Structure 1
Amino acid sequence: MLFLQLEPGSDTPLSRQIYLQIRSRILGGELAAGVRLPASRELAADYHISRNTALSAYELLLAEGFIEGRHGSGTYVADGACLDLPAPDPVAAAVPDPHPAPAAACIDFRSGVPALDRLPRGRWAQLIRDAWLEAPDLLFGYQAPEGSPQLRQVLCDYLRRSRGIVCAPEQILVTSGSVQGLSLVAGVLLQEIREVILEDPCNRDIGRIFSSSGTAIHPVPVDEQGIIPKLIPRLARPALLSLTPSHQFPLGGILPISRRIELIRLARGTGSWIIEDDYDSEFRYDGPPVGALQGLAPERVIYLGTFSKILFPALRLGYMVLPPAWVGPFRRLKQISDIHSNSLNQLALARFIREGSLDRHLVRSKKLYRRRRDRLVNELHSHFPGRVRILGMSTGLHLVAEWPGVRFGPELVAGAEAAGVRIYPVDNFAAGAGPYPGALLFGYGQLDEETIAEGIRRLARVVPPA
């Protein structure tokens, strides 16, 4: 008798259950070539199923070559149907998840997550409904890879007004988030083997995307104002300088005009391109908004923006502002990559911006995030009086707190996790050992004030005393 575990009440039909279990045993070598299987009548009788159910399973196995019928003899496992399964890769198994799921009671200070409980769901739902009901039939088909004309026009107007961007709508390419934008940059601009200049520390995903192209990566140290141009290797002829000038990730510095000019001169002198990742600078709390680097050198800067932080990550929409000469190559690669980004979301987003809903949402969000930032700063100073230094708190959804003399190594991080708080050492984002062993990155956008306070109370139990 062939032992099978069948579930008559399952959503998976019985014939499919039989097929999958026999197929799995053949592939794994449990049923070797030449083994005779029970006849369909016998299988049906053993499991109290109809013969048609058994025949249906056998017919599918026969069609895929897993079994063969021998006239007058029966049904047998076919030769060559066993697949040797690979052994687990110990190296791959040892690589930790950079953003593991927190335990149920763990307070997670992960950065880059907005207040998902404060989304304008009602208005957004209306706009999506209107897009579905009012969009012409053509919008449900394949669209232009560069994005909808409506969204590109309102984005152009918005970026000129809010960020000082110099562009025309034709220079905007809508992407499925900033990660796709960086991947397109690597695919178009790293055809030659030339160096890439990265801030150190920086977002690790950026380094992974660019290093996957085989190019040489040069990490350049940053300070509290951003990247230090004089430390860029003078023998390097970089293809790209990847920067976060309006809110350096993770330290939070704002690149001063003198350094911006120095980097532009370097890019012009070496024929390099500056990638400006403007991921969350809409949220500036202390002083007027900082202008984009692109406005100083639109012919040398490729500007990346995203709606993951100012709206919600699930929207999966971002954009690039390209120098005119690069619009064609990026458009072609975008088309190969995914044809186009979600058209109905683009239509809804264009209306959301045009009617002023985005501006109103940003005003409300900035007030909310300022309160959450202030509560975080107050709690840090309250629980660690005179011991903690705060960096990069003027902009964005995160800040950095540094404890001189403390090292947040694996044991201390694990201890914090055990105490119910997930922390992120800044040196985890550095190319090497890093100069910030006592610094932590705190994302606060997604946490309410009482949760922030409780998280710092838990952290205070595990940080070593002075």
Structure 2
Amino acid sequence: MWGIELRDKSEISLARQIFLTLKQRILAGQIAQGEALPSTRELAKGVGVSRNTVSEAYDMLWTEGFIVSRQGAPSRVAEGLQITSGNAAPNPERTKEPTPILWDFKTGQPDLSLFPRQLWSQMIGQAASHLSVRQLAYSSPRGYWPLCEEIAHWLLRSRSMEVDPEDIFITSGATQALHLLVDLLYREGHAFALESPSHQGIRTVIGDRGYPLHWMPVDNQGADISTLRDQNVAAVYVTPSHQFPLGGILPAGRRAALIRLAMANDFYVIEDDYDSEFRYAVAPVSPIYSMDSSRVIYVGTFSKTLFPALRLGFAILPKPLQARWKHHRMYMDVQNPILEQIALAEFLNKRKMDKHVQRMRRVYGEKRNVLLRSVERSFGSSVQPWGDVSGLHVALQFPGMEFGESFIRACREAGIRIASVSQYCSIPGDHQDKLLVGYGHLSHGQIEKGIEALHEFIARGVEGS
């Protein structure tokens, strides 16, 4: 009756099921405004429930304003409630099911199967069992103080960085840090300088706010700093230790020039230390922060090192920015979840991070070698790798070829997920001869078979052109 179908074993009460069904039909226009509802006795008999159950459902409708009632008259549907048409014709065009991804070369994906989950679970459990009443309350927008101290020790061990824990602020990954920094550093009439190509995340953060951008072309040594001269700059964002996506290392001369420009023109440098833990040929590259901490904001994350769902990162802030950062963070979300911060502090303190990074550096180094051998075996020596000495992806240059959006879509339809470097460029067509191949999350066999599949796909395209 009235389209009401009740489920006896549902966790939703029978009265609320009646209420929800009638509400939905009213909003869809299937029960017209002004239409009289059946009496509680009649509806109860029709759907096989007690009269009290129907009365409770009608009370819900009346309380929320879906029906109006007068003593001695039937309840009627209130005016002006229809939102959608109950008779709308179904869309004849059904969304096509996407082709399953067989070979996934997505970038930035760590190998989560090797993360020590049991150890992490134990540390989370210990953090929960020792949680004090005070730690259940709101804390400082700085973050958990022992974690700030452990991050400072970790940076000294891993990067030879001497950092005051007072300057470290915990974030929900690097993304939140960038959101906060863009708003903190913006000045009217001044542009944010970004590398081209660069990560879409920072471009989106700035672009969504409508702030102006200045592009710095990137070569195999990173950003061309000379383009900043005579520019009104709010801040410069760089990935100097492993440029994303081309992988170059910003040389000391360009770093020094960047710092001099920042000092002379009163702007800050945002240093995103992208994938610097995983360097395979030599020791990790020293950050720009080590050259001058007064003009550099260092941003780091544990998402790639440990696991993305952790959502913990940090920013090292010069003193003049700290009060405003605390204000913005206080009215954004105050703090990160405490259990994960406590567990991560313990993970760092017990040197479990050091052990995990050492292991993964070896694992990823082996995968990198498998990838490069597979590329040479399938494509020969004509295909040149960029940025192959660190990180979880490689840029492959195919001289004389062009990989546009249609190629990327065709790959996806063939079950291959891959990106072109041109997708990350400010000027359409730049670096169109390069593909990005992520390998951190893949097994040796998946890498080998995936490169073979990519070679066959490209060969078919060349033969059919």
Give the TM-score range, shorter chain. Answer: over 0.9
Corresponding residue number in structure 2 for 1:88:
none
Matched, 1:258 2:247: no
Q: Distance in 1 between matches of 2:101 and 2:190?
A: 47
Q: Distance in 2 between matches of 1:13 and 1:378?
A: 63
Q: How does 1:40-439 map to 2 (within 5 A)?
A: 40-83=40-83, 104-190=100-186, 192-232=188-228, 234-439=229-434
Corresponding residue number in structure 1 for 2:10:
10
Matched, 1:441 2:450: no
The amino acid of 2:108's aligned partner reads: G
Change (3 A) 1:8 1:407: farther
Count, aligned residues: 450
Change (3 A) 1:218 1:271: same
Deviation, 1:192, is 3.5
After superposing the two structures, state which structure 1 stretch, 1-10 or 30-39, moved more. Answer: 1-10
Deviation, 1:17, is 2.3
C-alpha contact 2:99 2:414 (8 A) present in aligned 1: no
C-alpha contact 1:2 1:38 (8 A) present in aligned 2: no
Deviation, 1:228, is 0.6
Q: Distance in 1 between matches of 2:444 and 2:51?
A: 64
After superposing the two structures, state which structure 1 stretch, 182-191 or 308-317, moved more. Answer: 182-191
Q: Distance in 1 between matches of 2:69 and 2:273?
A: 64
Deviation, 1:32, is 2.6
Deviation, 1:415, is 2.8
C-alpha contact 1:102 1:422 (8 A) present in aligned 2: no
The amino acid of 2:12's aligned partner reads: T
Q: Distance in 2 between matches of 1:54 and 1:65?
A: 17
After superposing the two structures, state which structure 1 stretch, 252-261 or 32-41, moved more. Answer: 32-41
C-alpha contact 1:406 1:437 (8 A) present in aligned 2: yes
Deviation, 1:191, is 5.2
Deviation, 1:296, is 0.8
> TM (normalized to structure 1)?
0.93
Q: Residue 75 of structure 2: SS of its match in structure 1?
A: strand
Q: Distance in 1 between matches of 2:6 and 2:289?
A: 63
Per-residue CA shift, 1:343-368, capped at 9, x if unaligned? 11111111111111100000100010
Q: Distance in 2 between matches of 1:310 and 1:264?
A: 28
Unaligned runs of 5+ in 1: 86-100
Change (3 A) 1:52 1:169: same
The amino acid of 2:436's aligned partner reads: L
Q: Distance in 2 between matches of 1:240 and 1:18?
A: 58
Corresponding residue number in structure 2 for 1:38:
38
The amino acid of 2:160's aligned partner reads: G
Deviation, 1:307, is 0.3
C-alpha contact 2:404 2:422 (8 A) present in aligned 1: no
Change (3 A) 1:102 1:114: farther
Q: Distance in 1 between matches of 2:410 and 2:416?
A: 9
Deviation, 1:261, is 0.8
Deviation, 1:20, is 1.9
Q: Residue 240 of structure 1: SS of its match in structure 2?
A: strand
Deviation, 1:230, is 1.8
Corresponding residue number in structure 1 for 2:27:
27
Q: Residue 400 of structure 1: SS of its match in structure 2?
A: strand
The amino acid of 1:310's aligned partner reads: T
Q: Distance in 2 between matches of 1:84 and 1:14?
A: 25
Q: Distance in 2 between matches of 1:56 and 1:203?
A: 55
Q: Residue 441 of structure 1: SS of its match in structure 2?
A: strand
The amino acid of 1:343's aligned partner reads: I
C-alpha contact 2:247 2:390 (8 A) present in aligned 1: yes
Corresponding residue number in structure 2 for 1:98:
none
Deviation, 1:26, is 2.1
C-alpha contact 1:419 1:459 (8 A) present in aligned 2: no
Choose the corresponding residue for 1:463, options 455, 458, 464. 458
The amino acid of 1:16's aligned partner reads: R
Per-residue CA shift, 1:191-232, capped at 9, x if unaligned? 544210011111111011112233101122101111011233
Q: Residue 69 of structure 2: SS of its match in structure 1?
A: strand
The amino acid of 2:190's aligned partner reads: R
Per-residue CA shift, 1:49-77, capped at 9, x if unaligned? 22222222211111111111122221111
C-alpha contact 1:2 1:37 (8 A) present in aligned 2: no
- Cα RMSD of the aligned pairs, angstroms, is 1.8
Change (3 A) 1:193 1:50: farther
Change (3 A) 1:134 1:325: same
Per-residue CA shift, 1:287-332, capped at 9, x if unaligned? 1210011111100011100000000011110000000121111112
The amino acid of 1:9's aligned partner reads: K
Q: Distance in 1 between matches of 2:337 and 2:436?
A: 33
Unaligned runs of 5+ in 2: 86-96
Q: Distance in 2 between matches of 1:268 and 1:216?
A: 21
C-alpha contact 1:65 1:81 (8 A) present in aligned 2: no
Deviation, 1:35, is 1.2
C-alpha contact 1:419 1:458 (8 A) present in aligned 2: no
Q: Distance in 1 between matches of 2:103 and 2:11?
A: 38
Deviation, 1:161, is 2.9
Q: Distance in 1 between matches of 2:79 and 2:195?
A: 56
Change (3 A) 1:408 1:10: farther
> TM (normalized to structure 2)?
0.93
Aligned-residue sequence identity (percent) comes to 38
